Structure 1
Amino acid sequence: MLRTHTCGQLNLKDKGKEVVLCGWVATRRDHGKLIFIDLRDRYGLTQITFIPKESKESYAIAGELRGEFVVMVKGLVNSRPANNVNKNLATGEVEVLATHVQILNRSLTPPFEIEGSLDVTEDLRLKYRYLDLRRKKSSYNFALRHKLYRNMRKLLDKEGFIESETPILTKSTPEGARDYLVPSRVNPGNFFALPQSPQMFKQILMVAGIDKYYQIAKCFRDEDLRADRQPEFTQLDLEMSFVDEEDIFSLIEKLMYSVFKEFKGVEIKIPFKRLSYQEAMDKYKSDKPDTRNEEGVEHSFVWIKEFPLFKFNDEQKRWESQH
């Protein structure tokens, strides 16, 4: 094992232990006979202290360190002086007195500060996405997404669902947007299509008797970019057999309740209000009504049901799709 602990793990209980940490140099402070670095990994920060009497070689190498160098540090955990305790840091009561340091990878000057403000253009952040993901907010969102998936999987497993992956290379099917086409090397002139949704496959699963299916699915749609339109996106995809709309409503309410409770500490009110399409249009003039003010809560959800699939156009004397 190359490292014994993470950079967010050490505390006073570890005082006197010899530890090995690996990570990125977040900051470096040279005080002459003392050099401090904050070593960062996705778990947190640990202060490393280099003193000549502990290791002249390590102290000399510390003088070379710069931001985002990747290093391995061996040393002894020590309590910080009372006036140097950082109560805002999980490891703020301890430091590691370095006895050995190895530079695993050097770094050029980053195009933006990793620990600095998020006031950086999105284009620059995406160009250097691997640097952007070192930021606390970005890595937090990565972990949050993982925990969200885990939460949903746990609930759906409890409800008897089976998670199933469906093909990515498939045939073109009529959907709401254009397909992304992939040429076939084996059959020149023929093309695969990337799925806009797993719709056909999950219906086949229902025919096969897999009565409760779900998938955290990748979908691809070749359409113009808008705030609510992406060429590639991820969705929670569900299908159930032998159910009515109330079964669907109830399941989604359980999912929403679980997610809000775990990640926001809020117990939203369930069941959600039910409105017919006509009731929503008559009362709110919209099929996406905002009922937060009248409910007096921050989070308010409404089911709009009985959507008309077609409406008769009196002027054109024909039925027209409403979706």
Structure 2
Amino acid sequence: MPPYKEGRERMKRKHSVWMMILVALMAVSLIGCGTTQSNLENKDTAKPAGKITIGFSVSTLNNPFFVTLKDGADKAAKAAGADLVVVDAGDNTAKQISDIEDLIQKKVSVLLINPTDSAAVVSAVESANKANIPVITVDRASNGGKVVSHIASDNVKGGSMAADYILKTLGDKGNIVELQGIAGTSAARDRGQGFHNVVDGKAGVKVVASQPADFDRAKGLKVMENILQGNKNIQAVFAHNDEMALGALSAIQAAGKNNILVVGFDATDDAVKAVKDGKMAATVAQKPDLIGKTALETALKVAKGEKVAASIPVELQLITK
């Protein structure tokens, strides 16, 4: 082979060798970079070992009772080192169902649900059942689906306590107004049932009006104003919650009828103050912070595979001056 051709061949072989070395180095570099990125992604997205995440769908945080209930659950979660994801339905059934679906997608360990509507929430409970996520209802029950446990006060007993107090104060006679909660909620149904178990058929006692005000203070005010216009002879009001009771109280004060007894339910701070000031006659204390705490602690037991009672009652207390 001529010398110049031999030299050209040596150059080609050297060039090929260097190209092979360069390609090998690049491959090693890419593999290293890919491994590092994967490790970083895993580090960022991985949950701490043994961390329990509880999802909590609350009917509304525009009500002091449910704010206190949520706070009770939050404190218990922090004490136990668990994550609590709270979503606010804003008293909107469709939003609550959507919120619960989101919590299911997040694969929470257990779902706590405080329904806006006991019937409408059934489909969301069933969705959680299909995803094998345990469901615990709080304060208000679900009309269907599989629920591991229900944490609430005995609302029937609370309604009866309110009625007994009213009748005792009035001497078993008088005209009473009932302000109902949101139709379809177990709380409204049970409190109303307890109230009527005592007053219905009682000689000398008449429920002259029984209307919904949706657990809302402004609606309680408006509904009571309308009732007062058509009924001049009223001795007492039983409201299914304190927000409606306080609304009714404002209407009563504006009408100058300060001799009407007002009894609420929940023992919120505003209501307890009104009782102490002699403006409201009484309120049934449901202890929302204890309900929230009990619900969270029960959820942790369920997440750990422990058995819990199907119904866990939280004690009630009548608050009077």
Shared fold per TM-score greater than 0.5: no
User: Shorter-chain TM-score: which interval?
Assistant: under 0.3
Higher strand share: 1
TM-score of the superposition, structure 1-length normalised?
0.19
- The answer to which structure, 1 or 2, has the higher relative contact order (CA under 8 A, 6+ apart) is 2
Higher helix share: 2
Larger radius of gyration between Structure 1 and Structure 2: 2
TM-score of the superposition, structure 2-length normalised?
0.19
